[in-house]
Chain A
Amino acid sequence: MSQAVSPLLPDMDMVSDNACLLTFSQTISEAISDRIAQVSQQLTNLPGIIDLIPSYTTLLVVFDGDHFDRFAICKAIRQLILKLDPKDALQADVREIVIPVYYGAEVGPDLDEVAAHCGLSTNDVIEQHSANLYRAYAIGFTPGFAFLGNTPAQLHIGRKTTPRLKVPIGSVAIAENQTAVYPSVTPGGWQIIGRTPIKLVDWGSENLALIAMGDKVRFEPISRQDFLAQGGNLDGF
């Protein structure tokens, strides 16, 4: 059972003259994540707020201290949060995003190692990874990189001892109790088990990033043939 959401206020700490951190809990849970997504969404429209960074248990609020009074902004944040019923957070429209994945050694060079480490067949790994419904707890590391949790206990595995210098775009990976898709070519230390043909970020589109904090995400196994038909690329390793 996840920790109950406090109906009242999160802790509020100034971190600099134009940013404050709201701490909703000391532990990670879906309920807390719902509440943070709800508050973050509503704060977007508050005058004077420049940027919001929601994460697992916190929300960083950056404001325009040059044109707005710090105390007035903090007060407005508190008042807005007090008005938001945590019960509504749980009923908020949750988007479910399906990401097609070609699981295979040629695009997922760690698939066999993961299977061996977990004492499963590669088919079991694929089945377990794609059977679960994940939640986007935080976005970061690189633009559009969503930290998705939690993977089934049987799939828990550490990061690679030596990170790869270049992880190909679209790589689907796992580490600890999390999974993610690499939206761009970056260095990375997660265990790569497959690849999606779809784009995670597109600065020309209206949504910019496919996955937002609070979204639900499911992976759908597709064949090599379908992967290629959907524009998938096998290069990169």
Chain B
Amino acid sequence: MAFKVIKPGMLALLQDLGRHGHQAIGVTTGGPMDELAFRWANALLDNDDNAQQLEITFGMLSLEAQANTSVALTGADLDASLNGKSLTPWQTYAVKKGDVLSFQQPVWGLRAYLAVKGGFQCEPTLGSIATVMREKIGGLTGKGDKLHKDDILPFQAYDQHQQRSVPRAAIPDYSQSDIPLVLGYQYRSFSDLQRAHFFSSDYKVSQNSDRMGYRLEGNAIQGDAKGIISEGIAYGSVQIPKDGQPIVLLRDRQTIGGYPKMGCVTRFGGALLAQKKPGDAIQFTPITVDQAEHERHLQMARLQQWR
């Protein structure tokens, strides 16, 4: 019972909510770049929150089902089709043995999530399937490999398909270019002028953006040239390196670093960012910890209530 990989795509990675508890020895978390989309895909199938999914970046992927199951698609619209019939994301679909599920190219967004009923059944490494290519950890082989042709993604066959879709109001507006940012304590180390620059500028997503970090191009921000003593880096930290171009550190970030930080984008902000492509413009909007917490609780409550 499995999907067989016919075409491996640009970058398709097995993910769960991440590898936690090992950052003290330098092992990063990995996990879904768009956590909200990931959580909804599992909710649609009544899966465990942490059930293994496929994160499909850009597309060009084809899978052949070797058994019946239900799948859920969330996140970006990568022009998915089932036996040539077009699929709309943010809902479930019945898949029969022999069906071919394909993803072409982004219609909007960049990363789609494919969940299967019960989750993929692959062997975790250090408690998680999260694939971190840079650290060579996780995924199908345990060595951080992305999907390859002829890989087999095991699942448990399932015949009681239920048609479900995410309420329209709960689907994020991915065209939003305002990225919420919680101001960090180091925010005070930047001058008023530099802060004003940071929050009033458009930043473009650079070509050198990946799961580790999104590099931005725009108004250079001057920070403390000395840097700081290396410290743990939280998810979403916005580092200001020497050249002044901000880097937003995401799921595959390094665990410690010594550049000053403006603050942290929220997990929702990071999800919005992860759906942006090189060249897309964004702005940062300052919010408080209370506001970030409130937004998060609302999103989680909406998910739980719908379940």
Contacts and interface: CB of A to CB of B under 8 A. Distances in A.
A53 B135 contact: no
A169 to B, nearest CB: 11
Interface residues of A, number: 40
A140 to B, nearest CB: 3
A184 B136 contact: yes
Contacts of A52: 23-24
A52 B22 CA distance: 8
Contacts of A58: 229, 231-232
A148 interface: no
Nearest to A61: B232
B227 interface: no
Interface string A49-60: 011111111111
Interface in A28-52: 28, 40, 50-52
Interface stretch (B25-33, B63-71, B76-84, B151-159): B25-33
B219 interface: no
A103 B306 CA distance: 63
17 contacts: A13-B184, A15-B184, A16-B236, A17-B293, A21-B234, A40-B24, A53-B231, A56-B229, A57-B229, A57-B231, A58-B232, A66-B296, A139-B256, A140-B254, A140-B257, A143-B26, A184-B136
A53 B232 contact: yes
Interface stretch (A92-100, A110-118, A150-158, A205-213): A205-213
Contacts of A212: 24-25
Contacts of A55: 229-232, 256
A19 B235 contact: yes
A66 B182 contact: no
Nearest to B301: A66
A17 B25 contact: no
Contact of A50 (B20, B231, B292): B20
A16 B235 contact: yes
B230 A56 contact: yes
A143 B230 contact: no
Contacts of B182: 14-17
Contacts, number: 129
Contacts of A147: 230
B25 A203 contact: no
Most chain B CB atoms below 10 A, which of A17, A55, A58, A65 = A17
Contact of B256 (A28, A141, A203): A141
Contact of A14 (B21, B233, B289): B289
A170 to B, nearest CB: 16
Nearest to A60: B232
B289 A21 contact: no
B137 interface: yes
Interface of B: 20-27, 29, 125-126, 135-137, 142, 182, 184-185, 229-237, 254-257, 261, 263-264, 266, 289, 292-293, 296-297, 300
A51 B261 CA distance: 20
Contact of B26 (A16, A19, A50, A145): A145
Given A15-B182, A52-B23, A201-B25, 8 more contacts: A51-B20, A51-B24, A53-B24, A66-B297, A140-B230, A142-B254, A147-B230, A203-B142
Nearest to B290: A17
Contacts of A62: 20, 23, 234-235
Contacts of B256: 53, 55, 138-141
B140 to A, nearest CB: 15
A16 to B, nearest CB: 4
B7 to A, nearest CB: 29
B29 A60 contact: no
Contacts of A140: 26, 230, 254-257
A143 B235 contact: no
A51 B29 contact: yes
